[in-house]
Amino acid sequence: TALFPALSQWLYSPQHTCVLQFCELTNHIGAGASFATVRDAAITYCNTVRAAGWKLAFHIPTPRAERATPGYAGSASAWQVGQLATYDSACNYFRGRPLGELWDFPPLDLAAVPALANPYDLANYQADGCHKTAAGISAKLAAVAAYTASLTL
């Protein structure tokens, strides 16, 4: 977020849209950030991007497995107990924002894509419960491509 104003001067074009993928904020959750910290970081980023003149599209991320689930205790990428609740709170908060408050297009809810909704699905997720398999990546790419194609500037 701190670097965005400087980068935006270099990258800015009125024909471009900034697509914020909430994945970095899921990393914040994994590092132990609270709902308020995650929410405030995303709001700051959204406001900074829009103040720089960019149109903003927002992707709500996919969930991660929890370490309390059998088979995931050793996964460094899976969330600790309670972090899924933080994710749910953050996603629900952002799903509930009216269009124009933080972004310029309806958000893409990747967690609503059937192939991406279940981090325990080994067809689409690796055994760490976080990263996608080739099939999961394909599902995500298809959803993002369809969403991006629907954006009108």
Distance between CA atoms of residues 87 and 37, nearest Å: 12
pLDDT score for 18: 65
Answer whether 140's CB lies under 8 Å from 110's CB: yes
Residues of the chain under the 70 pLDDT cut: 1-24, 153
pLDDT score for 103: 86
pTM: 0.78
**Neighbour-count burial of 8, counting CB atoms closer than 10 A to its CB (0-12 exposed, 13-18 middle, 19+ buried):** middle
Answer whether 78's CB lies under 8 Å from 129's CB: yes
Of 62, 59, 58, whose CA–CA distance to 102 is shortest?
58
Per-residue CA distances from 56 to 45, 52, 71, 75, 140 (Å): 10, 11, 38, 33, 19
pLDDT score for 138: 93
C-alpha torsion angle, residues 33, 76, 85, 42 (rounded to 10): 40
pLDDT score for 11: 47
pLDDT score for 98: 93
pLDDT score for 153: 65
